[in-house]
Amino acid sequence: MSAGDVLLLIGAGVLAGITSTVAGLASLVSYPALLATGLSPLAANVTNTSALLFVAVGAGVGSRPELVGQGARLRRYGVAMFLGGAAGAALLLALPASAFERVVPVLIAGSAVVLWLQPSILARRRADAAEGGPVVFGLVLLTGVYLGYFGAGGGIALLAALAVAIPEPLVRVNALKNVVSGFANVVAAATFAVFGPVRWLSVLPLAAGLLVGGAVGPSLVRRLPPGLLRALVGLAALGLATSLALDGYR
């Protein structure tokens, strides 16, 4: 790997880490950067997932004020993400990348709508849709499957699922999302380390950038009004859904 590739991956990692903590779109930056260094799509995918674990580490450090009192949630949803990430990693090694192409744009666009409607949904939720209910646990589990498989926009879907179940300020829910998503990356990275073509020399500079970006991002989120944060994440989700739809349905 050239020095230029190393610098590219570090810079892309910092930007992806910030993007992940603010809008859940890290792979939109980090995955193309890996492709630009010459990796194949599969190698770039598994390398990206392995490095994304460090966003959660950085975000955990940067989001300590927002994570106070959320230990039980971290454990509950961490289990769901761990199980989902394991299933998603297995699917990636067994199924073609086109398996999700037609479903993902709908998933991400739907997540944007859910986020925009979050206040009214919270006010009308059913008992089984509360944060400790089976519906939310199942949604988090399915999001973990997607994060372990590919993950572009998976953070947005996870934020949407948590935001309509947890009656807390969006900045606290977002901090929870940033850390919990790391559980899916842990098990996926472990699976790919054994069975997948992970390029560890690419993981190192990308992970370093992601760690820094993940730590810096929460301070930016903290300064955004909840309504603006909700609007920005929703708009980013619609943009990603449109891009993926053009690729998947073409």
Chain segment 2-24, per-residue pLDDT in tens: 888 899 999 999 998 998 888 77
Question: What is the chain's mean pLDDT, rounded?
Answer: 83
Q: Count Cα atoms within 13 angstroms, Cβ side, for 29.
A: 25
Model pLDDT for residues 59-68, shown as the tens digit of each residue: 999 999 999 9
Please report the pLDDT score of residue 134 as a whole number. Answer: 82
User: Alpha helices, DSSP H only, in the chain?
Assistant: 3-23, 27-36, 41-62, 64-67, 71-94, 104-116, 118-124, 134-149, 154-163, 170-195, 200-222, 226-249
- Mean pLDDT computed over 44-56: 88
Position 124 scores a pLDDT of 65
Nearest to 114 by CA among 162, 146, 78, 73: 162
Over residues 154-166, the pLDDT tens digits come to: 788 888 888 888 8
Residue carrying structure tokens 């190698």: 43
At residue 206 the predicted structure's pLDDT band, cuts being 50, 70 and 90, is very high
71/112 Cα distance (integer angstroms):
27
Which residues have C-beta within 8 Å of that of residue 191, sequence separation ≥ 6? 86, 89, 90, 93, 148
Mean pLDDT of 188-202: 87
Whole-angstrom Cα distance, residue 183 to residue 186? 5
The amino acid sitting at 33 is A
The answer to whether the CB of 115 falls within 8 A of the CB of 165 is: no
pLDDT at residue 128 is higher than 70: no
